[in-house]
Structure formats: structure tokens, C-alpha cells
Structure 1
Amino acid sequence: MTATTDVTTDLYPTRLAEPGEVVEREHPTVWGRPEDGPFDAEALDAHAERGFSILNDFITPDEVRQYSAELNRLSTDESIQGDHRVVTEKTSGEVRSIFEVTQLSEQIEALSRDPRLLDRARQLLGSDVYLHQTRVNYMPGYKGAGFYWHSDFETWHAEDGMPAPRAVSCSIALTPNYPYNGGLMVMPGSHRSYVPCVGETPADYHKDSLKEQKIGVPTEEAITELAWKYGVDQFTGPAGSALWFDCNIMHGSGNNITPFPRSNIFLVFNSVENTLTEPYSAPAPRPEHIGSRDFTPLR
């Protein structure tokens, strides 16, 4: 394992008054070795090059049914209606996301510790890990709103105080991801380019940004440059597939105007050697249910 990340110098400035130059990433994407976990050398090299890996049949059909039933239970649970962890669609009012879901679901909490996930997270990050953020996402047919192009690390750095891009997300699909039902789009290789964003972060901005993010998103010029440089790929596949993607990869999704809903479990693993400090570009840290400050290693 390596030393804890240096937090004294901000290598990834953002929320600037004027558009800044793209920063070439100084930190690696893959911190571990083939012998450290399930990914072999070829898979690790591909992940480091593209910034993401897609694993089909990551969970079984029985598990898909089990977790789908759990998502249905959570979305209709009257005891958490109006809870600050529940985010609704801006227009329809339907449930969009439920955060800190490992505190609300024993099944998903157990999944976060499953060796299929934990061993891969440790291998990619080269250390013990903890959960920076957990949530389930719902994108209902006809009404599901997309997410504009963004880098998660830009937000986690600016608003949560994550020092370096040493975190990885795992999105487990519980419904088929088609090219046409609002599936996640990624720019392969864009994780190597950090794009500073423009605009001062308002207080309690998370209350708006989780429904529609307007600050902390790149300019159209920056997106155009990255798209021409890296191209655009999409996470498609059957229910049970998993997308592992680097925290700094540029990604987004369109609205779902089809009758085919989309839902997923979303777990963010951060290295215990990259724990949060004070936000780099926000008045105060976001609440614990969005950016956890419990750095206890997962076992």
C-alpha cells in the first residue's frame, strides 16, 4: 500500500471564475497488481486505458429479481417518504434516487461487502476501501430525466474534499440497458483529462444539483473537445451486468422517453489512503448521506 494522499496542494482546481485549461491527470487509474484480485493483467490494462470495465452476468438472475424487489420496496416505503435521502424527479415527482441505501437495506449493505465487489475495488485502488457514497437510481419509462455530462471526481473534490481521483464506482444494472432507454454514456480515456468547471458553489447546492446540476459541469467547448478526442461509448447489456468506472471519467445520460424503465444499484468505493478533507471549492461539506466521512475499511 502507498502513503496517504497529500492534501496540502490542490492539483485539481475547479469552480473557477473563468474557464481553465484541462489538467492532465497525475495519479494512476489502477493502483493494484494482477495478483491482488480478480482482474487479470489484460483486464487491468484495458481498465487503465479506457477508464471503465463492463462485466456481463456480474450477478445472477435470481439476485436481479431479489434486488429488484428490494428497490420496489424502498420506492414505496412510506416510512422514508420525505426523507432527505430520497431525491425525486424535478418534474414528475417520482423517486429518482435513494442515497445512503446501505443504511436502509440489509441486502444492499451485504452486497457492498461481497467479494465480487470488494476484491475488485481493493485491487483497482491498491488499498483497503470504504464506501464514499451509495444509492439506488430509478429511471422510469417516459419520465426519467438524464444527467448532463460531468466528472464525479470534480464534484467530490470540490464539494466533499476528496483529494485525488482514487475512487471507483460500480453500477449494477437491474434492468436491461438498451442504447435507447437513457443508458449511461462514457468517453473512453477521458479519465486522464481533468476538466475544471466555472462558477462558485452556492451553500447547500446539493439540494438542487441532485435533481439538475448546473454548476460543476464542463462547458460545451470542453465537452466537444473531449468527445472529438476520445469518442463516446455506452453501457449496454442485460440485467445483472456491472459497470466499473473511474471517478474522473466524463459521463452522462439522456432522458428515457421509451416505455422501458432502467434501475441500478450504485456503490462508490474510495481508498482509505484518500480520505476526505475540507471541500476544495464549496462553503461546507455535503451531508454524510452523500459524501460519507466514516472511513472504516469494509470487511
Structure 2
Amino acid sequence: MDLTTAQLDFYNENGYLVIENYLSEKEIEILNLELPKTIEKDSPRIILEDNGTVRSIFAPHFINETYLRLSRLERFVLPSRQLIGNDIYLHQYKINTKKGLKGDWWEWHQDFPYWHIDDGIKEPEMISVMLYLQDTDSSNGALLLIPKTHKLGIVKFADKGPAKGPLKYTDHLKNRDYLSSLNADIKFTIDHDLLKDLAIKNGIVTVSAKKGSILFFHGNLFHASNINLSPFDRDAVLITYNSINNLPTNTENPRPEYLVGSDYSPIQILEPTI
């Protein structure tokens, strides 16, 4: 599937694009049935909330064929390739979960600073594709975003103490410091005064959508999400693609492979369905 000129123009102007009913109910049913099979006990791929519930499942494609196929679907790869303007590889893949009445928030941030500072990727032209596995709105932690902020580059961070550089994998295993970019107290959040100014100028959009919908968004777009106040779980798949000409340069002390993909070959597109 190719995006239309109107869709491309909207994305380029606003930094995001929502398409409803992108996957069928049957496909979403399959993905929900397969999701528990992506969780391994005591695996570093599994990030927990402080209350012990699962927050994120990284690299589900490592152990699950259905989620591997999902990342290679023509419907995901072709539009992402259009938006980036080049062949792409899979840089990061995760499932973010918000358990009913327990799922925590994500502070206001941009994604690209982590990929730039921790992974050494130079250009921000990276695409994240967010797939909704349940109906999602403000009650269960829908994504919040500020349009047009992708045009600003990496912005000023909120003061959260001394910045921490990339760690060796062995250090990650010892103290799990890399979780500071994955838990509810993420390390690169947006300066509050700047956030307020842009919210007044551009407004805040709540990206509500039905299950099976997808959201394409730019690596520098301001975004956040609230806690899940509903009694129902809210799960979302996030697949991040990068250009094969925009590879990580932090090769001496890379983050673990479940956070940073190391197969830079162009994605081979699969048939249109999972």
C-alpha cells in the first residue's frame, strides 16, 4: 500500500498520520492471542512497572514468528519506506502494555535523542509505526502528541541531573541503568517551559482510535501518554524503521540487541497478511 499525496503532505506538516481499520479484526485477534507467548520470565527484554506488571516487551520477533511477520508486512514497510525515502531496516521493536488500573504514564519526550545519543544515529528521519491492539482513548492511556514539533530537531531537556552516556552491555547487566530510558522516569524529557509554549501554539492531540488502527510518527515529535484509568488493558505495538544509510555509529559500546537492531539489510516484504 502506498500513501496518497494528501497523507504524505499531512505527515510532513504535522509529524504523524493516523489510518483507521488498517488491520482486520481477525489479524488483531491473532496478535492478541500470540502476545503472551512473547513474554519470557526473567528476560531482560521484559520491562516491568514498579507494581510488577509488564510495561514493555522488547524484540517480540526474537521468539515469535507472528510478530516477526508483522514487522515485514507490505502495509507497514511500503509506507514507511515512502516516508523515509529509502530502503529501511528494523531498528527497534516493542509492545507497550498498560494494564487496567495499573499501567503507568510516559513523560513528554522525543524518541530520537535516545537513538542519537545512545546509538549514534545521525539523522532523525526515522519512522515509528504504532498499532492499536485494543480500542484506545483518553481513559486507557492513548498517546498524546503536539503536532509540528518534529520540525524543531532535538530540543532542550528538562533538568533531571547529570546526563548519562551509553553504557557497555556488561554494565547494563550489572546495574540495569539503561532502564532509565524505558521506565516511568525516562532520562530525556522535554523542558517544561518549552513544552508549555508549544502546547499553547500547536495544541495537544489525543490519538484515540479503534483496534486495528495505526499511527505513523516522526522520531522528533513531542509525545506522551497518561496512566490507564480504565479496568481494561491497553496494548500497542511499536515498530521503528530506519534508513539503511543512517546506521548507528556507537559500535564500541552498543546497547543490547533487543533494544538496537543489528541486521541492517533491507527488510524483505512479506505477503499482505500475517
Q: Could you say whether these structures have the same fold, taking a TM-score greater than 0.5 normalized by the shorter chain as the test?
A: yes
Aligned residue for 2:272? none
Distance (whole Å) between structure 2 residues aligned to residue 225 and residue 193 of structure 1 = 13
Aligned residue for 1:26? none
Aligned residue for 2:255? 286
Q: Which runs of 5+ in 2 are unaligned?
A: 269-274
Structure 1 residues 47-56 or 214-223, which shifts more? 214-223
Q: Does 1:218 align with 2:190?
A: yes
Residue type matched to 1:196 in 2?
K
Aligned residue for 2:64? 105
Aligned residue for 1:115? 74
CA shift at 1:209, angstroms?
2.6
Aligned residue for 2:233? 261
Aligned to 1:231, which of 203, 207, 210? 203
Aligned residue for 1:30? none
Distance (whole Å) between structure 2 residues aligned to residue 206 and residue 227 of structure 1 = 29
**Secondary structure, aligned partner of 2:247:** coil
Paired-residue identity, %: 30
**Secondary structure, aligned partner of 2:113:** helix
For residues 223-272 of structure 1, the C-alpha deviation after alignment (integer angstroms, 9 at most, x for no partner) is: 11221222110111111000110111000001112112200111000011
Aligned to 1:276, which of 224, 248, 261? 248
Q: Does 1:70 align with 2:34?
A: yes
For residues 193-234 of structure 1, the C-alpha deviation after alignment (integer angstroms, 9 at most, x for no partner) is: 120325411544322331123421122112112212221101
Shift >6 Å, 4+ stretches: none
Aligned residue for 1:86? 46
Q: Does 1:200 align with 2:163?
A: yes
- The two structures have a TM-score, normalised by structure 2, of 0.89
For residues 17-51 of structure 1, the C-alpha deviation after alignment (integer angstroms, 9 at most, x for no partner) is: xxxxxxxxxxxxxxxxxxxx611111100110110
Residue type matched to 1:100 in 2?
A
Distance (whole Å) between structure 2 residues aligned to residue 67 and residue 45 of structure 1 = 31
**Secondary structure, aligned partner of 2:224:** strand
Aligned to 2:55, which of 96, 114, 121? 96
Q: Which runs of 5+ in 1 are unaligned?
A: 1-36
CA contact (8 A) 1:154 1:196 kept: no
CA shift at 1:166, angstroms?
1.3
- The two structures have a TM-score, normalised by structure 1, of 0.82
Aligned-pair Cα RMSD in Å: 1.6
Distance (whole Å) between structure 2 residues aligned to residue 113 and residue 240 of structure 1 = 16
Distance (whole Å) between structure 1 residues aligned to residue 204 and residue 196 of structure 2 = 11
Distance (whole Å) between structure 2 residues aligned to residue 107 and residue 116 of structure 1 = 15
Distance (whole Å) between structure 1 residues aligned to residue 226 and residue 52 of structure 2 = 18
CA shift at 1:69, angstroms?
0.6
